[in-house]
Amino acid sequence: MTDTIVFNEVNKKLGDFQLQNINFKVKKGHITGFIGPNGAGKTTVIKLIMNLMKPDYGDIKVFDKEIDADPKSIKQRIGFVYADNNYYDHLNPNEIKSVVAPFYDRWDDDIFLHYIKKFKLPLKKKTKKFSTGMRMKLSLAIALSHDADLILLDEPTSGLDPIFRANFLEYLKGIIQDEEKTVFFSSHIISDLEQIADYVICIDNGQIIFNNRKDYLLDSYYFLTGPNSALNTLNKENLIGMRQSAFNFKALTNNQAEINEATRHKVSVRQATLEEIIIYTIGDDLL
């Protein structure tokens, strides 16, 4: 399977913060969710992918090329959707198109107009009068209008109303149907990733916590709830993010021996949700 993005032992220090030995691969033709609390390193990783900053050491490849080898041709193939639309507020979508289109060899006016119509955006209304959802629609329309092979999204659904968020996620699923395009979706909204991601990369404090196929995570982790007395039969080192009240405990585990032991005692065992896996692994900072 082809990898669209590869990080190999990437480190980057920014003041007191540091990305530490970052390793991951983003598979072509899939949606990879990239999640972590604010300040975990998500935006730094995205800036490294876009070659907006350089790693202190380590290797980054995009489309099987070192990012410094041919940055112009790499960026030609990336559609970038920011959390905040940074286009000139005094321009309307038609004027913004005239500014942006010359930068892309594969720009297609017909596709742009198709998405403007699909998203019900006014061509001649200045973007300073656009809502957050309208700005996001415009960013996505631009990203999809130059036949990008990688759609890179930085917190795209933050601040969007639930109906547009649901529709937006459906657009993303449609993008990868031909298995030729790749979506890398940075977010802190777990439900969005649970709905559409094929793979999930979790980062916290500059380190990758896990990087797996979503279905593997859901099949591997179990959520335990039971009386504190049952803890005497379990190995606490195999319990992830354990929380105790006066009488009961809750914890996550992917250790089969603990799952088997828990079922023999008065402990409730069920498959964990993606939200429980992430929250119990990295704590409450995401909420």
Assess if residue 151 is contained within a domain: yes
Assess if residue 16 is contained within a domain: yes
Residues 104/74, Cβ–Cβ less than 8 Å? no
In the chain, % of residues over pLDDT 90: 69
Alpha helices by DSSP H, 197-273: 214-220, 256-263
Residues 18, 141: one domain?
Answer: yes
Question: What is the per-residue pLDDT across 173-218, written as a single tens digit (0 to 9) for each?
Answer: 888 888 889 999 998 888 888 989 999 999 999 999 999 999 999 9
DSSP at 261:
H
Question: What is the per-residue pLDDT across 261-274, written as a single tens digit (0 to 9) for each?
Answer: 998 888 999 999 99
Residues 190, 139: one domain?
Answer: yes
Averaged pLDDT score across all residues of the chain: 91
Residues 143, 93: one domain?
Answer: yes
Assess if residue 94 is contained within a domain: yes
By residue range, what is the domain housing residue 33?
3-213
Residues 74, 192: one domain?
Answer: yes
Mean pLDDT throughout 221-235?
94
pLDDT at 118 over 80: yes
Residues 137, 57: one domain?
Answer: yes
Residues 61, 168: one domain?
Answer: yes
Assess if residue 227 is contained within a domain: yes
Residues 229, 152: one domain?
Answer: no
Q: Which residues contact 45 (CB under 8 A, 6 or more apart)?
A: 7, 19, 22, 34, 186, 203
Residues 36, 67: one domain?
Answer: yes
pLDDT at 223 over 90: yes
Residues 11, 141: one domain?
Answer: yes
Residues 202, 72: one domain?
Answer: yes
Task: Please state the domain count of the chain.
Answer: 2
Using left for φ > 0, alpha for ψ between -120 and 50, and beta otherwise, residue 179 falls in left
Assess if residue 255 is contained within a domain: yes
CATH of the domain at 160: 3.40.50.300
Assess if residue 280 is contained within a domain: no
Assess if residue 229 is contained within a domain: yes
Q: Which of 190, 213, 236 is the last residue of a domain?
A: 213
pLDDT at 286 over 60: no
Give the length of the chain: 287
Dihedral angle of Cα 177, 145, 79, 116, to the nearest 10 degrees:
-90
Residues 159, 260: one domain?
Answer: no
Q: So what's the pLDDT on residue 94?
A: 94
Residues 226, 202: one domain?
Answer: no
pLDDT at 285 over 70: no
Alpha helices by DSSP H, the chain: 42-49, 71-76, 93-100, 109-118, 132-143, 162-175, 190-196, 214-220, 256-263, 274-282
Assess if residue 287 is contained within a domain: no
